Every structure is written in C-alpha cells, then in structure tokens.
C-alpha cells in the first residue's frame, strides 16, 4: 500500500479523495500490466528496493492523477447507468440506442448488436509471464483512451510512441475484440485557456481533442513485450548504478530556452527568451552582435512523481546540475 505525507496540509475532506486508490493491482509473481511495461526500467525495478515506510508520496502531488481517475469513473458510470437518456438527449434515434450493449457477454453479441466495452481487464501469457491490460473504451473494434493532461503534453507530442505501444498491447491481448489498426486518444486538457490559439497555431482549439495513432502489428508488439521483459529480468537484481538511466522523454524534460542578453554585462534578466537557437542568434545579429545568447537546458519534472524517487541516484545528479528543481 502506498503511504502519503500530507506536507501541504490538505484538509481531511479532500485528503481522503487524494489518498483513495482503487486501482486493481496484482502482486502475483511474473504478472505485469501494459502500463507498467511502458515505464522506464528504473521506475519498474527500483520501487521494490525502498524499505517499508520509505518513499512517502506528497499527498498534494496526487491531484492530477485522482482527477484523471475521476473522469474515467464518470465516463464509465455514464455509459453503464445512463447511456440511453444521454444518447436521446444527443438526438440519437431509439432504433440505434436499442442496439447498444455495454460490456456484453459473447452470446449477447448477435447480428445488429453494437457492443461497447469499458474498463475491462484482459490478460495473456507469454512464457512464464502474464501480461494484463485494462483499456478505457472499445467501440466497433477500435480501442480508445481518455487522457486528462496539460496542453504542453499535447503541443510537444511527447508521448506519441507510448500511446501507440499501449494501444498495440491492448490489441495483442485480445485481437478479436480490437481489430482496427488505429486507436484514438481523447485528450481532456486540465489547463486549457480560451483564445490562446490566436497567438499559438499549435494550441488546441477546444478543451478536448481527438488524435488518431497507428498500432504496431501483432508480431511487432510481441517482440516489444518480449524484449522489455528480457530487460526487466536482466536488471531486476543489478546494482542501481547499472540500471539504464531514464532518457529525456522518460524525464518529461522540457525544451531548452535560449536567453538573449543585449548587454552581456547585464544578465540578471534576459532581453528576450527564444525557443530555438536560430531565432536567438538572428536577434543577436540584428542588434549588432554585441550581446550574448545563453542556452538554458530544459527542466525535468517526471522525477517529482516517480515511485523510485527515494532509491534513484539519477535524480540526485539532476538536482545537483539544476535540471531538476524541487519546490
């Protein structure tokens, strides 16, 4: 059981919600979920090395995770308990609504029936391992996932590979249920602001957005799973400093900032910040090449939420370098 430190003094009325975890974990040996497979090796291996009572998680840091879970719960509850009234309110005719079956048994799926599957856990053996996965939504053989996230994640497309891998594992687990070659991610933005698209063409136009991703073939997916399991077994008992480090994507490293100072003797505040070196140097030339451009490496944020935090020396190095700022 994960334990928490309420360092932000979250009131009990809200704290119980943040500390509540109803995820259906499995402690069976050689059982691993699709979401765990997608994690970097250090995040998979190191948490088990933290002594009981160590590695307390700041309760306030659970806010985004619990809000995401609440959205999933609400979508599932709406489909299971009230989809007929909701679809009528949306203007769907009864002849269509009457065909909908939510999480039907196999014998219920007959000609003319439209099956909808939500939050079902699948499993499949691969050697001595059991792979499991709990998808969000399947309609017409297409897997769909709901992601509550910040706009930055979408704009920078940082998790595209993981989305493809996640959907591909779900299809590998049950290819008869998921038979389309693409999946949909439904982004629900937690920090969306109206009007931002006028100044940023990459900004999403609405608080929600659907993006389609291709899935790997079944053989490609099985090779990916088998290779990740091999690495887990290889490094499971290895010294911590031998486990491969997390890369920039794993660390949620932001893009570097190029700070232009018109007067190189006054560097307390940049004249202008740029997101690429070319534009920063162009401004330098326009001003007579008397200033200076300094690159500030992108900041790391994933470590703050990582269950391996207490056992990981990579995060210590990032703190020392200034790439990870704890606040």
CATH, residue 47: 3.90.320.10
Would residue 326 count as lying in a domain? no
Same domain membership, residue 113 and residue 19: yes
DSSP 8-state code for residue 310: G
What does pTM read for this prediction? 0.86
Q: Output the pLDDT for position 307.
A: 87
Give strand pairing partners of 145: 185
Q: Output the pLDDT for position 55.
A: 67
Q: Output the pLDDT for position 22.
A: 81
Same domain membership, residue 203 and residue 283: no
Q: Nearest to residue 18, comparing CAs of 6, 28, 26, 33?
A: 6
**Alpha carbon distance 253, 200 (integer Å):** 21
Would residue 327 count as lying in a domain? no
Same domain membership, residue 256 and residue 232: no
- Boundaries of domain holding 278: 246-321
Provide φ and ψ at 143, rounded to 5°.
Answer: -85, 140
Q: What is the pLDDT along the chain (327 residues), one digit of tens a residue?
A: 678 889 899 999 999 999 998 887 777 889 999 999 999 999 999 998 988 766 678 888 889 889 999 999 999 999 999 999 999 999 999 999 999 999 999 999 999 999 999 999 999 999 999 999 999 999 999 999 999 999 988 988 889 999 999 999 999 999 999 999 999 999 999 999 998 988 888 899 999 999 999 999 999 999 999 999 999 999 999 999 999 999 988 998 888 889 999 988 888 889 999 988 999 999 999 988 988 998 888 889 889 888 899 899 999 999 998 889 887
Same domain membership, residue 17 and residue 93: yes
**Total domains, the chain:** 2
Same domain membership, residue 199 and residue 111: yes
Q: Nearest to residue 31, comparing CAs of 132, 169, 173?
A: 132
Provide φ and ψ at 132, rounded to 5°.
Answer: -125, 160
Same domain membership, residue 163 and residue 38: yes
């Amino acid at each position: 059981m994960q334990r928490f430190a309420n360092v932000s003094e979250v009131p009990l009325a809200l704290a119980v919600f943040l500390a509540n975890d109803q995820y259906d974990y499995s402690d069976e040996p050689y059982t691993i979920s699709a979401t765990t497979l997608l994690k970097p090796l250090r995040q998979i291996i190191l948490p088990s090395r933290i002594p009981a009572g160590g590695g307390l998680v700041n309760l306030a840091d659970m806010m985004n995770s619990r809000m995401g879970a609440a959205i999933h719960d609400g979508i599932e509850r709406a489909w299971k308990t009230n989809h007929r009234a909701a679809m009528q309110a949306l203007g769907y005719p009864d002849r269509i609504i009457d065909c909908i079956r939510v999480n039907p048994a196999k014998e219920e799926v007959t000609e003319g029936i439209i099956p909808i599957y939500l939050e079902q856990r699948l499993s499949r053996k691969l050697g001595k391992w059991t792979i499991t996965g709990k998808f969000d939504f399947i309609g017409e053989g297409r897997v769909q996932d709901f992601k509550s996230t910040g706009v930055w994640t979408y704009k920078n497309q940082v998790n595209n590979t993981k989305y493809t891998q996640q959907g591909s594992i779900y299809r590998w687990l049950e290819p008869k249920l998921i038979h389309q070659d693409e999946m949909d991610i439904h982004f629900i933005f937690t920090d969306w602001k109206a009007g931002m698209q006028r100044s940023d063409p990459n900004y999403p136009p609405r608080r929600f957005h659907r993006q389609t991703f291709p899935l790997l073939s079944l053989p490609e997916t099985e090779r990916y799973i088998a290779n990740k399991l091999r690495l887990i077994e290889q490094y499971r008992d290895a010294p911590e400093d031998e486990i491969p480090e997390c890369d920039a994507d794993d660390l949620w490293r932001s893009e570097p900032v190029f700070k232009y100072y018109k007067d190189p003797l006054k560097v307390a505040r940049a004249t202008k910040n740029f997101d690429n070196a070319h534009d920063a140097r162009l401004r330098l030339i326009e001003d007579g090449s008397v200033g200076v451009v300094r690159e500030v490496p992108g900041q790391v944020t994933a470590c703050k939420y990582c269950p391996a935090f207490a056992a990981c020396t990579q995060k210590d190095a990032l703190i020392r370098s200034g790439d990870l700022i704890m606040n």
